[in-house]
A and B are shown apart, each in its own frame.
Chain A
Amino acid sequence: RKEVEQDPGPFNVPEGATVAFNCTYSNSASQSFFWYRQDCRKEPKLLMSVYSSGNEDGRFTAQLNRASQYISLLIRDSKLSDSATYLCVVIKAAGNKLTFGGGTRVLVKP
């Protein structure tokens, strides 16, 4: 089983719609969680950190469920520019490396 798993998609989303997807992690000792965004042929860029209480940044909402060991990302009012691959990232308590999921591809269409 992979340490961090994501549905690869693609999620085809009409412009203006809401899309949500999850990421599961296997190590219960994981300490920090993030969502990164990666555009085609570009480097990953931090989208947002994920806090235990959940957090929101504009149209993006991230949630953490430690009991079920998953994090989620919700995008409201999707824009064409939201088309990208969204990478879930987990950092274990004992180490400092980023463990990435395989990414979820989102395609927002007019």
Chain B
Amino acid sequence: ETGVTQSPTHLIKTRGQQVTLRCSSQSGHNTVSWYQQALGQGPQFIFQYYREEENGRGNFPPRFSGLQFPNYSSELNVNALELDDSALYLCASRPGLAAQETQYFGPGTRLLVL
């Protein structure tokens, strides 16, 4: 296992609600990235946090926001949920920002928006 954990594993919400997903990175990893994977597609980059600061963002609206804590764990918050937000949300951690460093993925949170 990668040592990256995510909670909850599954979640059902309704349109307009808000959701918070959590990620605990592998020990010693200060960089966490979040991805959205819709069914049948590859993961899409949402944003990345490095030492508690956002360090890069993909093409996602502002209702997708995040935090990283001093212990490098992270949260993804999504406001005003839409049906298209139904997806697998993955977080990945790595020891630093170097492009060559392997990212280790957590098992993901499956979100269903009804």
Contact = CB atoms under 8 A, between A and B. Distances in A.
A90 to B, nearest CB: 10
B102 A46 contact: yes
A98 B106 contact: no
| Chain A residues touching B, range | 20 to 34
Contacts of A95: 56
Interface string A67-101: 00000000000000000000100010101111111
B100 A32 contact: yes
Interface of B: 2, 31, 33, 35, 40-45, 48, 55-56, 58, 90, 92, 97-100, 102-103, 105-108
Chain B CB within 10 Å, residue with most, of A45, A49, A97:
A97
A99 B107 contact: no
Given A46-B102, A98-B33, A100-B44, 15 more contacts: A31-B99, A45-B2, A45-B105, A96-B31, A96-B98, A96-B99, A97-B45, A97-B58, A98-B35, A98-B45, A98-B103, A99-B45, A102-B40, A102-B42, A103-B42
A8 B108 CA distance: 22
Interface string A21-32: 000000000011
A96 B58 CA distance: 11
Given A44-B90, A87-B42, A103-B42, A96 B106 contact: no
A43 interface: yes
